Chain A
């Protein structure tokens, strides 16, 4: 099946620091999404991207749809303790196929 390579696998950061994570694919995607999963819960949609080059913000979160359509980036500014969780990228290469998920980036914030 299709693979999404998400990095880094885990991060430990100080509260207040900015965070960057990314996702790459060997094939082109038409849609990129970023989800966050809190412990014991299902993933929750953060940002959806539908066009190459698109840059979208949601509060302190900013995500970009790479111009090659094979990658996407998520940035979190001024991290706070509640940012702790697992962040997943997900991609879809056509309207007929379900989402493919990356393996996640586990974020820990040290107060």
Chain B
């Protein structure tokens, strides 16, 4: 089992560019999440999904978009990169709402 796989691991974007952060899980989990981690600030929820075709906003959704066309994949799209989006992005999944989450190893994004 690969668990939760995120690609790419690192990326540098110019202001205004768009990109998609990929997330795939092979555990047949219904629930998937995107968090961003800024130094000393913990993890903040961007978007989450409770199943294929269903997505919902988290605490900090502005500037991002998601889709969930399959159980396995939950890509996060940056619409027009801004320096404030420089962060480490983590995707996670869980079997149920009350189970602990399994995290990917993260994507480190720098916007210049």
Contacts and interface: CB of A to CB of B under 8 A. Distances in A.
Interface stretch (A57-65, A66-74, A96-104): A96-104
B42 A88 contact: yes
B2 to A, nearest CB: 13
B48 A98 contact: yes
Contact of B40 (A9, A41, A99, A101): A9
B48 A48 contact: no
Which size class do B's interface residues fall under? 20 to 34
A42 B100 CA distance: 13
A11 interface: no
Interface residues of A, number: 27
B103 A44 contact: yes
B40 A103 contact: yes
Interface in B59-93: 59, 90, 92
B100 A48 contact: yes
Interface of A is mostly: loop
Contacts, number: 55
Contacts of B35: 101
B43 interface: yes
A104 B104 contact: no
Nearest to A102: B42
Nearest to A31: B98
Nearest to B91: A42
A33 interface: yes
A104 B100 contact: no
B103 A42 contact: yes
Given A43-B43, A98-B48, A1 B105 contact: no
Contacts of B44: 101
Interface of A: 1, 4, 6, 9, 30-31, 33, 35, 40-45, 48, 50, 88, 92, 95-96, 98-104
